[in-house]
Amino acid sequence: MLAINEVLRGRYRIIKQLGHGGMGAVYEAQDNVFDTTVALKEILIDLTKITTPKQQQIVRSAFEREAKILAMVKHEAFPHVRDYFIEADSQYLVMELVDGEDLGSLLEKRQSPFPLANVLYWTDLLLDALDYLHSNEPPIFHRDLKPQNLKLTARGRIKLLDFGIAKSAE
């Protein structure tokens, strides 16, 4: 777990933790080079289960390949990936920070379904985004669609988050 005000790569200062799971955590961070706020996703690697240098390199290469695929994604429904790096036993993705609440939290607060017109609009946006991913060469599959991974922006648009288990068909 990263500490508040900790600086990574002499550039990214941790402001606060936004969430966490079994594989790592997501932080709000200040990018001191561009003077912007970003989302910094930390993915922990358990190297005790990866015994050979060759296997460790395969894990690092897989992360780098996924980061490069995500950096190539150019669609308004996905946060832009700005950087990636590996330090010690962690991998990091630096992404656009998406303001807004996820649909899971909004549903909990509402205690009732969303209006049908909203759901149909969001579905159209999401289907367009998935069509974009699947039309890439090679295709990209998100594999973790759920309300908690869909953020509603201030403009009423949907952003699909958490590509942690995204897979390309390659």
CA 42 to chain centre: 10
What is the C-alpha to C-alpha distance for residues 96 and 105, in angstroms, rounded to an integer?
Answer: 20
Active site residue 128: no
Q: Are 123 and 104 in contact (CB under 8 A)?
A: no
H or E stretch at 14: strand 12-21
Q: Are 127 and 91 in contact (CB under 8 A)?
A: no
Q: Are 54 and 46 in contact (CB under 8 A)?
A: no
Catalytic residue among 89, 131, 144, 162: 144
Catalytic residues: 144
